[in-house]
Amino acid sequence: MKRIAATLLVALALAAGIAVVTVQVLAARSYADVPLPEVRSSTDPVVIERGAYLVNAVAHCPACHLPQGEAKSYGPLSRPQLVGGHRWDLPYGTVYSANITPSMRFGIGAWTDGEVARVIRTGVRRDGSLSPFMVLGVGDIADDDLSAIVSYLRAQAPVDRAAPQSEYNFAGRAALAFFLRPKQGLPALADAPRSEASVERGRYLVHGPANCAGCHSPSASLGAQAPLLSGGIPAFDEDEPGMETVAPNLTPDPATGVIYHWSEDDFVGRFRGGRVVPGSPMPWEAFFAMTDTDLAAIWRYLRTVEPIRHEVGPTHRAVGANP
């Protein structure tokens, strides 16, 4: 009896050991063979200016690439230096955003255009490691927009300051090993003409660079087949302990769609109104700088999606208040 128990214990310990080693090895796997997008940066001021709009407004890179506090208080029309250092304390570890100024030592100064474009499109870094935040937090961006973004980043002043390294615990490494994969840009998201507030343009923005769908869909961010845009999952309020926020249902459902009773002017006007909930992750500061045309395009697209009945409850509430 004793011997059987001992054998079982040894077997269990061995299995656990194998599991730990498997997680370590898989989490450290390199994706360096993921191809670099064929994207070239440009010094054309028109392209750089379009990149400025994409980075600072639509794709809201400053929401993550500025230190705590600054990310939600920078002037909506300012173009801050993207020095990184935003810190997230998560069950998976402590994550810091990177310095993405063209500093040779501390930023992306030494990266090629293709390497910068690849981490934005797929989440794969220069060294082949995977960045979970870049996989989950950035939408699919068309080639010419991607090159405008890289062109803008290149045209910035370098800031020679190191952002702290992210540290993933066992749960984080397990997620990296088994769940997260490089993002694969959806070929269906071709860019529509920028000058028109068309439904196609709105679809591209919502599922692409503005990534509204990422936050406003239940676990869409984990790649599950979730009903798109029917509301997000609750997240801890970064600024107010004990509180949580949840992204509302954006589908045109008469009963539960938050914007069902709004007009196009109400919708655009809401974005000009800016932040109401201080700790909300919604990047109001960035979206404030979006053009009327792009906001109208988003509105027109949202009116065409399938209405889904899904009540998320109050969007800012005490943790657990809405089980």
- Least distance (Å) between residue 271 CB and ligand HEC: 8
Question: Is 176 one of the binding residues for ligand HEC (CB under 6 A)?
Answer: no
- SS3 labels along the chain: CHHHHHHHHHHHHHHHHHHHHHHHHHHCCCCCCCCCCCCCCCCCHHHHHHHHHHHHHHCCCHHHHCCCCHHHHCCCCCCCCCCCCCEEEECCEEEECCCCCCCCCCCCCCCCHHHHHHHHHHCECCCCCECHHHHHHCCCCCHHHHHHHHHHHHCCCCCCCCCCCCEECHHHHHHHHHCCCCCCCCCCCCCCCCCCCCHHHHHHHHHCCCCHHHHCCCCHHHCCCCCCCCCCCCEECCCCCCEEECCCCCCCCCCCCCCCCCCHHHHHHHHHHCCCCCCCCCCHHHHCCCCHHHHHHHHHHHCCCCCCCCCCCCCEEECCCCC
Place of tokens 């405008």: 148
Stretch that binds ligand HEC, among 6-14, 38-46, 60-68, 186-194 (CB under 6 A): 60-68
Residue 108 sits in the site that holds ligand HEC (CB under 6 A): yes
| Binding residue for ligand HEC, selected from 48, 119, 174, 286, defined by CB under 6 A | 119
Specify the residue, 23 or 61, whose C-beta has the smaller distance to ligand HEC: 61
d(CA 9, CA 257): 54
**Binding residues with ligand HEC: total (CB under 6 A):** 47
In the complex, minimum distance from the CB of residue 75 to ligand HEC, in angstroms, rounded to a whole number? 18
- Residue tagged 């191809």 (tokens): 35
**Is 251 an interacting residue with respect to ligand HEC (CB under 6 A)?**
no
Q: Which of 166, 221, 230, 251 binds ligand HEC (CB under 6 A)?
A: 166
| Minimal distance, residue 110 CB to ligand HEC, in Å | 10
Q: Does 245 bind ligand HEC (CB under 6 A)?
A: yes
Residue 243: beta bridge partners?
318
Instruction: Considering only the stretches 1-9, 10-18, 26-34, 210-218, report the one whose residues sit in contact with ligand HEC under the rule CB under 6 A.
Output: 210-218
- For ligand HEC, the binding residues in 124-153 under the rule CB under 6 A are 125, 131-134, 137-138, 149
- How far apart CA 234 and CA 231 sit, in angstroms, is 9
- Residues 158, 277, 293, 307: which binds ligand HEC (CB under 6 A)? 277
Is 159 among the residues that bind ligand HEC (CB under 6 A)?
no
Site for ligand HEC contains 217 (CB under 6 A): no
* Residue 315 is a binding residue for ligand HEC (CB under 6 A): yes
Binding test (CB under 6 A) with ligand HEC, winner from 34, 52, 83, 95: 95
Q: Which of 51, 172, 208, 248 binds ligand HEC (CB under 6 A)?
A: 248
Residues contributing to the site for ligand HEC (CB under 6 A): 55, 59-61, 63-65, 95, 97-98, 100, 108, 116, 119-120, 125, 131-134, 137-138, 149, 166, 210-212, 214-216, 245, 247-248, 250, 258-259, 270, 276-277, 280-283, 287, 298, 315-316
